């Protein structure tokens, strides 16, 4: 049950700003000002200093009243990755400046982490940021950047000291991607869509006031971002039983008896059970995460999500026979929101190939699970104590 005081705050918000007649940005701004955006944050930063668990109850009450979702659908990177990182490492001034427009959707975020030569090894990033008074001048190239075509801001990891080992020379920034010197180009995928982008930074400027954490402390800050990203991808909050990929398959199985055969029945049951175990495990992890910052366990959920999506989409193609292979929609699209389970079986099969790459490759995440969750010996890393500038590339 939601507390009486919190319930009263929610009701006052709904009475003063009826969702049906209030513009989305205005409602979300009022929600933030009422401390109902992230109730665990301090008063004045969208919160009330309450336990994290209270947020889910607030969200349920608002959803039942038809209220818009914080951040708007386009800002899933801002809400799932930038916001918790700003909350964890930002100064009061940074929280005051960035959190409200992020929540209202006034500022859409993208992520400038991966690079052509450092996709699976973020610590090897080569994009350089050089101090120039109260600003940093940034040069480099980033890749696989979702939502960059819509973004106003980016979370950026850049190398500020090439003379120290790679993990120690990184710094984390909040970068304006609408400025001159930032070029965004679409990357066409196997589906024909261009969800992702490559981003070129040429003498782009970032105020030092937009630096999160200390100079050279970017790896720790980025780890917080990545842990939140993997939990967000792996847990999929609010997905019901038979939601997502498995729901598409079970729906076809029930509606089209002619597709069935005994061998496929056994495989479908195995996938259904695996999907339900994954859903319940994700719910458990999500509930644990409300007690504090997400840990490395999210890496395991992200690996499971990718494997399951690829297995289920492959089964779906087989289930539909020759029709499952049909895919003729190669139109270059720039989707507003990515729907991993949208369109037909052919699309879902092709799109699922990327699930084991985006958000951290499955190979790297298995290392994270083995070392940071299971406590197994780490892989031998010959470059661990070598200055970044001395590592062959």
198 included as an active-site residue: no
**Between β-strands 153-159 and 109-112, what pairing exists: parallel, antiparallel or unpaired?**
parallel
* Cα gap 101→75, rounded to integer Å: 11
Distance CA 27, CA 23 (A): 6
First to last CA, the chain: 57
Among residues 115, 193, 198, 229, the one annotated as catalytic is: 229
Please write down the long-range contacts of 6-12, taking CB distance under 8 Å and 24 or more positions apart.
6/39, 6/48, 6/50, 6/54, 6/57, 6/58, 7/61, 9/34, 9/35, 9/36, 9/48, 10/36, 10/58, 10/61, 10/62
Cα angle, residue 98 at apex, residues 182 and 106 outer, rounded to 5°: 70
Distance between CA 168 and CA 385 in Å, rounded?
10
d(Cα 296, Cα 299) in Å, to the nearest integer? 6
Helical axes 24-33 vs 4-16, angle rounded to 10°? 150
Give pairs for 90-93: CB < 8 Å, separation 24+: 90/212, 92/45, 93/209
Q: Return the bridge partners of 158, or none.
A: 171
- What are the DSSP calls for 31-44, one per residue? HHHTT-SSTTSPBT
Give the number of residues written for the chain. 393
Using alpha carbons, select from 143, 217, 205, 133 the residue that is nearest to residue 174. 205
Both tokens of 246, joined, read 């498995």
338 phi/psi in degrees, rounded to 5: -80, 125
Instruction: Report the catalytic residues.
Output: 229
């Amino acid at each position: 049950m939601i507390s009486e005081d919190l319930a009263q705050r929610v009701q006052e918000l709904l009475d003063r700003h009826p969702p049906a007649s209030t513009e989305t940005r205005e409602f979300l701004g009022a929600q933030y000002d009422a401390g109902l955006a992230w109730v665990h944050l301090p008063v004045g930063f969208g919160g009330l200093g309450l336990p994290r668990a209270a947020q889910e109850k607030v969200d349920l009450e608002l959803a039942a009243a038809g209220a818009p979702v914080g951040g708007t659908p386009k800002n899933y990177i801002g809400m799932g990755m930038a916001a918790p990182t700003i909350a964890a490492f930002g100064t009061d001034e940074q929280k005051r400046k960035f959190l409200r427009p992020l929540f209202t959707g006034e500022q859409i975020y993208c992520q400038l982490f991966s690079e052509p030569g450092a996709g699976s090894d973020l610590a090897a990033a080569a994009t350089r940021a050089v101090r120039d008074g109260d600003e940093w001048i940034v040069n480099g190239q980033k890749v696989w950047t979702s939502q960059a075509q819509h973004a106003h801001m980016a979370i950026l990891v850049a190398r500020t000291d090439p003379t120290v080992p790679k993990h120690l020379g990184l710094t984390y920034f909040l970068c304006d991607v609408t400025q001159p010197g930032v070029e965004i180009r679409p990357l066409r995928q196997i589906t024909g869509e261009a969800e992702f982008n490559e981003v070129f930074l040429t003498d782009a400027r970032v105020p030092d006031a937009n630096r999160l954490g200390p100079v050279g402390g970017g790896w720790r800050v980025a780890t917080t971002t990545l842990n939140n990203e993997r939990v967000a991808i792996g847990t999929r909050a609010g997905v019901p039983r038979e939601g997502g990929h498995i729901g598409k398959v079970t729906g076809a199985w029930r509606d089209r008896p002619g597709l069935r055969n005994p061998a496929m029945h056994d495989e479908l049951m195995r996938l259904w059970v695996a999907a339900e175990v994954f859903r319940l495990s994700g719910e458990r992890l999500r509930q644990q995460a409300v007690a504090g910052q997400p840990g490395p366990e999210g890496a395991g959920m992200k690996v499971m999500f990718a494997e399951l999506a690829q297995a289920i989409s492959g089964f779906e193609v087989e289930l539909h026979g020759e029709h499952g292979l049909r895919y003729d929609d190669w139109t270059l699209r720039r989707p507003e929101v990515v729907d991993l389970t949208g369109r037909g079986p052919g699309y879902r099969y092709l799109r699922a190939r990327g699930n084991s790459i985006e958000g951290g490759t499955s190979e790297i995440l298995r290392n994270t699970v083995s070392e940071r969750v299971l406590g197994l010996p780490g892989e031998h890393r010959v470059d661990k104590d070598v200055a970044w500038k001395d590592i062959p590339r």
